[in-house]
Amino acid sequence: MSPVRVQTSWWRLGGVGNVRVHPPIAFVICVVFLLFSSCVLCECGHGKMQTIARRLGHESLKPSTSLRAFYPISDHHYVADHQRYVSTIANKGVGHLVRKGTGGRSSVSGIIATVFGATGFLGRYVVQQLAKMGSQVLVPFRGSEDCPRHLKLMGDLGQIVPMKFNPRDESSVKAVMAKANVVINLIGRDYETRNYSFEEVNYHMAEKLAKISKEHGGILRFIQVSSLGASPSSPSRLLRTKAAAEEMVLRELPEATILKPAVMIGTEDRIMNPWAHFAKKYSFIPLFGDGSTKIQPVYVVDVAAALTAVLKDDGTSMGKTYELGGPDIYTMHELAELMYDMIRERPRYVNVPFPIAKALATPREIFLNKVPFPLPNPDIFNLDKIQALTTDTIVSENALTFNDLGIVPHKLKGYPVEFLISYRKGGPQFGSTVSERVSPDSWP
């Protein structure tokens, strides 16, 4: 192959006017030159682009009027000079609330919410509601990578951001809150384990989140989810710690919003499911006392909708406490009857007096921290739940409720309990809704 004579002026190297270069070598030299030029231009323009973006962020972007900041807007955020924990989050700094689109998952609501407890029962519904309105949701989790996997399907690409964290490590908690402008605390336990007590989970964790949010400088809203019936005088330790957490959060953040849902009903609930499973396995369920304790169960989707309504308002819910109960009050016996009607089984009960129920549930509490292995988690014979059932748990007369948030809660009979059809011996087609009652003589 004959060499090609190149006489272009920019090939003049070392004062040499004419350079004889083979075509392959000439091609390689051109590619290297172009890549080098691109890198130089990008490096030169990067600083200018950052400066322009920063000016736009301060001068052109204005906080939304629908979410009022109760702490000054600030550009300070944690781990700014250290490793980035959330490289997929587009915003830099906190406090700005910019909205784009007409609503929906492909829009931008301006909300970047860190939802603690997102992998729990209520959490998945809250994440779905936030993603549905175009919010970015940070999902802290402490278990397997599979724990938040189902939540990523609820939003567009990059909208749901799982983040592994250690709840006992303050720097880890700060990292998952660094980019957020909304913090929602759903963390809670209805039973204790060897590693986590009621006090640590329900009180100390809420205290940590409230103090970090106060120091953060860019948290627009803080929502603490408690429990209906939480009171310092409650016979239940869980409800006592929840009440202490409410008081502490309002002391640290007077503009925080407290939501107190009643017993929640839904596909993954911890009352109807254990009852149905127990009834199918043993042909009866135990009723503590005589089953006359009154509760006001609420559909879990309504609670998630209430939380979203709090974020959408003009700030009127800040500093207020809402008690979220369903439209109907049930005794435990009436709720069990509804469960039996849905699974199409003949109702059978064993009334267990409270002293005997407490005696049956006490051994686990005694040996919980005294044996070198974890004990089974209680479903029905939960000592703290038994103690809570010694008193009625209904919405207070003058409390703020769903009505004050513009929400009409679902009645429990119907769709909210239709998930129980999976327990039917005759299959789902053996009557598909509560309204399709069948004669007891036809029950299997």
- Position 372 scores a pLDDT of 87
Give 207-247 pLDDT, tens digit per residue. 999 999 999 989 999 999 999 999 999 999 999 999 999 99
Q: What is the mean pLDDT of residues 146-150?
A: 91
Q: What is the mean pLDDT of residues 159-188?
A: 94
Query: How many Å apart are CA 79 and CA 65, to the nearest integer?
Result: 29
What's the pLDDT band for 187 if we cut at 50, 70, 90?
Answer: very high
Length of the chain: 444
Which own/partner contact pairs does 389-393 have at CB distance under 8 Å and 24+ positions apart? 389/288, 389/289, 389/293, 389/332, 389/354, 390/235, 390/289, 390/293, 390/354, 391/229, 391/234, 391/235, 391/293, 392/293, 392/294, 392/295, 393/228, 393/229, 393/262, 393/263, 393/293, 393/294, 393/295, 393/296
Is-contact 279 425, C-beta < 8 A? Answer: no
- Winning range, highest mean pLDDT, from 61-75, 85-99, 202-216: 202-216
- Position 379 scores a pLDDT of 86
CATH 3.40.50.720 matches 112-442: yes
What's the pLDDT band for 281 if we cut at 50, 70, 90?
Answer: very high
Half-sphere exposure of 378 (CA within 13 A, CB side): 21
Minimum mean pLDDT range among 29-43, 312-326, 355-369 = 29-43
Is pLDDT of 338 > 50?
yes
- Position 104 scores a pLDDT of 74
pLDDT higher at 394 or 41? 394
Give 286-313 pLDDT, tens digit per residue. 999 989 999 999 999 999 999 999 999 9
Is pLDDT of 407 > 60?
yes
Is pLDDT of 76 > 50?
no
Mean pLDDT of the chain, nearest integer: 81
Task: Give the containing element (helix H, strand E) for 273.
Answer: helix 272-282
What's the pLDDT band for 1 if we cut at 50, 70, 90?
Answer: very low
- Position 394 scores a pLDDT of 96
- Position 15 scores a pLDDT of 42
Residues 6+ apart with CB under 8 A from 232: 240, 243, 244
Q: What six digits make up the tokens of 94?
A: 């906190």
Q: What six digits make up the tokens of 68?
A: 């009022």
CB-count exposure of residue 229 (10 Å: 0-12, 13-18, 19+): buried
Is pLDDT of 440 > 80?
no
- Position 378 scores a pLDDT of 86
pLDDT higher at 77 or 98? 98
Query: By three-state DSSP, how is residue 30 classified?
Result: helix
What's the pLDDT band for 36 if we cut at 50, 70, 90?
Answer: low
Q: What is the mean pLDDT of residues 73-99?
A: 41
pLDDT higher at 275 or 58? 275
The neighbour count for residue 213, using CB atoms within 10 Å, is 25
Give 14-23 pLDDT, tens digit per residue. 444 455 556 6
- Position 356 scores a pLDDT of 96
Is pLDDT of 203 > 70?
yes
- Position 62 scores a pLDDT of 38
For the chain, the domains span: 4-59, 112-442
What global pTM score does this model have?
A: 0.76
Q: What is the mean pLDDT of residues 250-254?
A: 96
Query: How many Å apart are CA 41 and CA 61, to the nearest integer?
Result: 28
- Position 443 scores a pLDDT of 45
Q: Radius of gyration (Cα) for the chain, nearest Å?
A: 29
Which among 400, 59, 168, 418 is positioned nearest to 269, based on CA atoms? 418
- Position 111 scores a pLDDT of 93
Q: What is the mean pLDDT of residues 164-180?
A: 94
Query: How many Å apart are CA 366 and CA 370, to the nearest integer?
Result: 8
Quickly list DSSP for 357-397: HHHHHHHHHHHTTTSSSPPPPPSS--HHHHHHTTS-B---T
Query: How many Å apart are CA 307 and CA 132, to the nearest integer?
Result: 13
Residues 6+ apart with CB under 8 A from 340: 279, 346, 347
Q: What is the mean pLDDT of residues 261-266?
A: 97
Is-contact 91 179, C-beta < 8 A? Answer: yes
Angle of CA points 143, 147, 150, to nearest 5°: 170
Is-contact 221 257, C-beta < 8 A? Answer: yes
Is pLDDT of 168 > 90?
yes
Q: What six digits make up the tokens of 357?
A: 């129920």
Is-contact 288 382, C-beta < 8 A? Answer: no
Is pLDDT of 148 > 80?
yes
Cα separation values, 417 from 40, 227, 299, 414, 420, Å:
63, 21, 9, 6, 6
Task: Give the containing element (helix H, strand E) for 139.
Answer: strand 136-141
Query: How many Å apart are CA 411 and CA 394, to the nearest integer?
Result: 15
